[in-house]
Amino acid sequence: MALPGNTGKLPPKTALYLLVGSGAIVLFVLLGIIPMQKKLIGLDKQIEQAKYRIDQQGALHPIYLKMLSIAKAGGAKAPKLPDRQGLGQKAVSELTDTMAQLIVKTGLEAQSVTPDPSSLGKGSKSLAVSLHVRGTLDQFRTFLSELAMLPSYENIETLKVEPGGGPRDYNLKIWLTAE
């Protein structure tokens, strides 16, 4: 049942109020709520980062205290490295045996020890030695520390570790100083 004189159109004044009210609501949402929402998201990210840093500091605090106590006690003492000197002619000829003894001393299995005499050519003062050893990671670490204590040790050029559990294969090329 329709009211007399009702054609379904809104009066112009009511339409204007409705349009202004809708515009005000849209402006309120665009200028108030959306920027506030973005700001809250940014604050949430900052809170997460702060929590992560706090957790990280909490995990590192015991290490810091331990290092502080070591520093107060006079610091940790590093092993003294030997004076560097080159391998003599006799030491070069016995190099394979010397390296094999060092490998066995650290608990590794010597697969191969191969000096490269061509690396001494053209007046070079360094000798390349290729090593292939097998053992655990702890044994290999011990071997590397023993290797660094050799008076003729220069550096490691390449190091390849075969993946796997338990004993692993290690291939490395080292350089030693020769006279």
pLDDT by residue (tens digit) across 55-89?
A: 998 888 988 898 888 888 876 676 676 777 777 77
H-only helix segments in 29-159: 34-72, 89-93, 95-105, 137-148
Prediction pTM value: 0.55
Q: What is the reported pLDDT for 3?
A: 56
Residue-wise burial string across 132-155, b where 16 or more C-beta atoms lie within 10 A, e elsewhere: bbbbeeebbebbbeebeebebbbe
pLDDT at residue 125 greater than cutoff 90 = no
